[in-house]
């Protein structure tokens, strides 16, 4: 009897239900939730002593659940700083390896909702994907027969501290239910959140969002500012295979729905001002026809000082109600701000992407690092400079230097928000990142001073390093091409700065890393004077330590 009853209950939850727990139009803003523990491993209501709104549920599989929170999430550099509305949202606590990351599946189910009174049943919600360790959300709808059909997924990237609106058509026309399934990323900076979930008639998006069918970014995002004639980088993608496309352009700022934006018949939103006299179609107005799109398109362009360009792409899509799928709108601005050094305001375990051609540096050159040219770099608050991505890691290891992003400098556990400065500058082709008197974490009083230089003309690089003798945190220092390099140390230090000092030029192979490490201390320094690490060609083939 117990088994039969259990099967009946499971069938009611997962299969075609005969009565619903809510009736559309239905909105859940999570204000009736009760918050509880923020411990990553307390990821069920029973463990965390928190409750979801009425008829919202954890997945019967027993996977970790979204939980209620107010304000920001506990970890810095991830999660929303505030709810989209009210005082409470639901989020996934990604802290603690094995509980919150990597690749931990969080699932939460909506109530069953009767949508039979709606003309075109639609799900609307808002999400926050703020953090460098962001994973991917998949929204699934019941198929009425015990299964789930994916109806939406996020890009799986750090989208900043903003709430994104999603509007997606539902398949079921009588009783439906959705499941929010989030798979966390590689680090604890992956607190994903949702708010204001509704089942209602379709609404147009205030801001059109990128999708796999139509994605457009400028310098990796939606807005970009560069100095006059510095090259913006435009990236366009579509998963529709060979197709055709065009880009609408204006010399005005992009606009939201209700502020100049226009809804389409298929409930997409045109976020460029098509009524402005400057509106033009990039291809149709210049060549008389749409352009072919192979799936990936990249290009660069510069702008004079004071000029704004807004753009939005349309990918021809036979499956769309509009016959096309729009991307987000993007905006570029040529800034005339006077040039000068950039004083960062990095907090604990933080990173900032510095674009060389953007104010205040306004430098149009490139850094050559291990044979690759970069027009931007990442300054990490824990003492190193990296390329392709930043990091928030306070526990330095050689293995990470060998398997992750290219980098140079000395990584430890630093607290620049407590004491010290980190300044980026450029003079006569020399790009410098200067860590001056940055105190180590925990109030021990030890400081680290390091100056990292990139010679954009000659191609070499170097850095100086001095750590107080009282330094107590693990340190990894040197130069590495990360996952793209070769590593003589194979997980251990490949050079002793102390032993190599003053011995002249050390010869390796192009792409070699040169790494020293220390446990619970700064890099050993018998002389007690600052090191100078020189890589004449910045490719690992030769170094000298003075």
Q: Which whole number is the average pLDDT over 440-452? A: 90
Whether residue 261 has pLDDT greater than 50: yes
Of 11-15, 241-245, 524-528, the one with minimum mean pLDDT is 11-15
The whole-number pLDDT of residue 283 equals 94
pLDDT digits (tens, 9 = 90+) for 17-52: 447 899 999 999 999 999 998 887 888 888 999 999
Phi/psi for 201 (5° steps) reads -70, 160
Tell me the CATH number for domain 215-334.
2.20.130
Q: Report the SS3 class of residue 176.
A: strand
As a whole number of angstroms, the distance between CA 392 and CA 381 comes to 8
Looking at every residue in the chain, the average pLDDT score rounds to: 90
Is the pLDDT at 11 greater than 80? The verdict is no
Please determine, for residue 419, whether its predicted confidence score (pLDDT) is greater than 80.
yes
Question: Which CATH number fits the domain 19-200, given the four candidates 3.30.450.20, 2.60.120.200, 3.20.20.80, 3.40.1360.10?
Answer: 2.60.120.200
Cα separation of 508 and 503, whole Å?
A: 15
Please report, for residues 6, 173, 285, the alpha-carbon distance to residue 10 in angstroms, rounded to integers and kept in the order given: 6, 21, 58
Tell me, what's the pLDDT at 4?
Answer: 35
Cβ atoms within 10 Å of 298's Cβ, excluding its own: 9
Instruction: Give me 33's structure tokens.
Output: 């939730």
Q: How many residues does the chain have?
A: 546
15, pLDDT greater than 70: no
The structure tokens listed for 54 are 């009425």
Residues 6+ apart with CB under 8 A from 270: 208, 248, 261, 262, 263, 264, 312, 326, 329
For the chain, state the CA radius of gyration.
Answer: 26
Calpha distance 117→252 (Å, rounded): 42
| Whole-number pLDDT of residue 38 | 84
Is residue 295 predicted with pLDDT exceeding 50?
Answer: yes
Beta strands in 206-323 (DSSP E): 215-218, 223-226, 232-237, 243-250, 262-263, 269-270, 280-281, 291-293, 296-301, 308-316
pLDDT higher than threshold 60 for residue 347: yes
If you search the block for the tokens 């040197």, which residue do you land on?
478
C-alpha separations of 304 from 231, 253, 342, 363 in Å: 11, 15, 22, 15
**pLDDT at residue 500 in the model:** 95
State yes or no: pLDDT of 139 exceeds 70.
Answer: yes
Nearest to 514 by CA among 393, 402, 392: 402
Closest CA to 83 of 240, 196, 216, 159: 196
pLDDT tens-digit profile of 354-403? 999 888 888 889 999 999 999 999 999 999 999 998 888 898 999 999 99
Task: Enumerate the β-bridge partners of residue 62.
Answer: none
- pLDDT for res 430: 95
Sign of CA dihedral 99, 103, 104, 110: positive
Rounded Cα distance between 72 and 91, Å, is 10
Query: Cα–Cα distances in Å, from 485 out to 363, 366, 401, 479, 510?
Result: 28, 20, 10, 10, 8
Tell me the pTM. 0.65
3-class SS at 287? helix
516/498 Cα distance (integer angstroms): 9
Going by pLDDT thresholds of 50, 70 and 90, the confidence category of residue 338 is low
**Domain ranges for the chain:** 19-200, 215-334, 342-545
User: In a 3-state reduction of DSSP, which class is residue 10?
Assistant: helix
Q: What is the pLDDT of residue 408?
A: 97
Q: Which of 117, 126, 124, 109 is nearest to 23 (CA)?
A: 117
d(CA 248, CA 455): 40
């Amino acid at each position: 009897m117990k088994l039969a009853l259990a099967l009946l209950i499971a069938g009611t939850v997962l299969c075609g239900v005969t009565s619903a727990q809510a009736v559309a139009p239905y909105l859940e803003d999570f204000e009736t939730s009760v918050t509880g523990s923020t411990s990553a491993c307390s990821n069920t209501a029973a463990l965390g002593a928190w409750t979801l709104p009425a008829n919202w549920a954890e997945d019967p599989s027993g996977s970790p659940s979204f939980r209620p929170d107010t304000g920001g999430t506990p970890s810095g550099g991830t999660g929303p700083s505030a709810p989209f509305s009210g005082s409470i949202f639901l989020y996934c606590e990604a802290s603690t390896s094995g509980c919150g990351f990597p690749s931990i599946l969080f699932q939460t189910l909506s109530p069953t909702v009767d949508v039979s009174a709606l003309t075109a049943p639609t799900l609307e919600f808002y999400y926050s994907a703020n953090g460098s360790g962001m994973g991917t959300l998949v929204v699934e709808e019941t198929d009425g027969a015990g299964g789930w059909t994916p109806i939406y997924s996020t890009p799986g990237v750090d989208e900043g501290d903003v709430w994104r609106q999603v509007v997606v058509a539902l398949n079921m026309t009588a009783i439906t239910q959705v499941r929010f399934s989030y798979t966390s990323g590689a680090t604890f900076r992956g607190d994903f959140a949702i708010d204001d979930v509704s089942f209602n008639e379709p609404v147009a998006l205030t801001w059109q969002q990128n999708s796999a069918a139509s994605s457009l970014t400028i310098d990796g995002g939606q807005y970009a500012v560069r100095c006059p004639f510095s090259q913006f980088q435009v990236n366009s993608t579509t998963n529709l295979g060979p197709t055709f496309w065009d880009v609408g352009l204006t010399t005005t700022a992009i606009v939201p729905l209700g502020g100049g934006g226009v809804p389409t018949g298929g409930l997409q939103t045109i976020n460029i001002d098509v009524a402005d006299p400057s509106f033009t179609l990039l291809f149709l107005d210049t060549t008389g026809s749409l352009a072919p799109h192979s799936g990936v398109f990249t290009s660069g362009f510069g702008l004079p000082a004071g000029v704004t360009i807004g753009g939005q792409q349309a990918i021809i899509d036979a499956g769309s109600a509009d016959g096309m799928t729009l991307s987000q709108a993007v905006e570029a601005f040529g800034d005339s701000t006077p040039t000068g050094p950039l004083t960062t305001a990095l907090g604990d375990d933080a990173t900032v992407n510095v674009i060389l051609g953007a104010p205040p540096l306004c430098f149009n050159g490139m850094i050559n690092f291990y044979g690759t040219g970069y027009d931007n770099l990442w300054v990490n608050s824990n003492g190193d400079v990296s390329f392709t991505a930043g990091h928030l890691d306070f526990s330095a290891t050689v293995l990470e230097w060998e398997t992750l992003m290219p980098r140079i400098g000395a990584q430890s556990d630093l607290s620049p928000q407590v004491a010290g400065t980190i300044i980026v500058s450029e003079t006569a082709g020399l790009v410098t990142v200067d860590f001056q008197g940055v105190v180590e974490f925990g109030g021990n009083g030890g400081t680290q001073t390091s100056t990292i230089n990139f010679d954009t003309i000659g191609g070499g690089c170097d850095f100086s390093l001095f750590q107080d003798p009282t330094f107590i945190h693990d340190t990894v220092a040197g130069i590495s091409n990360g996952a793209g390099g070769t590593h003589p140390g194979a997980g251990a230090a490949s050079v002793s700065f102390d032993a190599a000092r003053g011995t002249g030029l050390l010869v390796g192979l192009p792409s070699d890393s040169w790494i020293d490490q220390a446990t619970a201390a700064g890099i050993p320094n018998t002389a007690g004077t600052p090191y100078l690490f020189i890589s004449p060609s910045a490719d690992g083939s030769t170094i000298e330590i003075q």
